[in-house]
Amino acid sequence: MALTISSDNRVTELDWKHIETVLLDMDGTLLDLKFDNHFWLHTVPEAYAAQQGLSPDEAKQQLHDVFAREVGTLNWYCLDFWSETLGLDIVSIKQQAAHGIGWRQEALEFLQRLHRSHCQVILITNAHPETLRIKLECVDLAPWFDHLISSHQYATPKETQKFWQLLQTDYPFDRAKTLFIDDSEHVLQAAEQYGVGHLITLRQPDSTIAEREQTHYPAILHFDEIYSGL
């Protein structure tokens, strides 16, 4: 096994000799999820409240119910869907708020080390292509990857087996020698079902929210915990 974990499910060592491909999520993994959480929990409700003549609390309650219906679907991540559904220009609002986009601690250093390694490195994100474009304009992500994949190009999110089948067809990888890091345990569950051999999650995707005390999958706080041997 490539991963050595402690009794509380924290990764203590990763043997990079067993890894040929590294698949990385973006939001909450490489980039601080505080931007996305603030955007959807505050920025969008404020814009919706102003448009609809609602109080902020009324807007949040209405949007909570609308958002809940789409969790786990491609619509959940689709800016076109939310622009049409809410009657807001979500892309423009996100562009205006883009100053809040930033790295998670040690993420850039980790990417630079991976880039110098023997590994194939692929970004796989559920982010809408316009979200990906905005974030690539704000942070220096692209140079460190062999491929950048939005699940929207497959018309299915990472939570589905279809996504993994299509990814495997386009970018063949040895599942037993692949490491996938994602902050979403629902996504990791889909990867596990598909047979991806090595799975890691993050203990603190959003730097403004306390660390997760328990995770189903082996976890790290920052990437420097798995630098050794890379």
Q: Which two tokens stand for residue 170?
A: 């386009």
Question: From CA 184, how far away is CA 177, in angstroms rounded?
Answer: 21
Is the distance from CB of 131 to CB of 94 less than 8 angstroms? yes
Q: Which helix (H) or strand (E) holds 131?
A: helix 129-138
Percent pLDDT > 70 in the chain is 100
β pairing state of 120-125 and 147-150: parallel
Residue 188: pLDDT over 80: yes
Mean pLDDT of 13-36: 97
**135-170: pLDDT as tens digits:** 999 999 999 999 999 999 999 999 999 999 999 999
Residue 194, C-beta contacts closer than 8 angstroms, at least 6 positions apart: 161, 164, 165, 168, 175
pLDDT band at 16 (very low <50, low <70, confident <90, very high): very high
pLDDT recorded at residue 7? 86
pLDDT recorded at residue 121? 98
Residue 21: pLDDT over 80: yes
Mean pLDDT of the chain: 96
Domains of the chain from N-terminus onward: 3-32+103-226 (3.40.50.1000), 35-99 (no CATH)
**72-83: pLDDT as tens digits:** 899 999 999 999
Question: From CA 199, how far away is CA 178, in angstroms rounded?
Answer: 9
pLDDT recorded at residue 130? 97
**169-187: pLDDT as tens digits:** 999 999 999 999 999 999 9
**38-53: pLDDT as tens digits:** 999 999 999 999 999 9
pTM exceeds cut of 0.85: yes
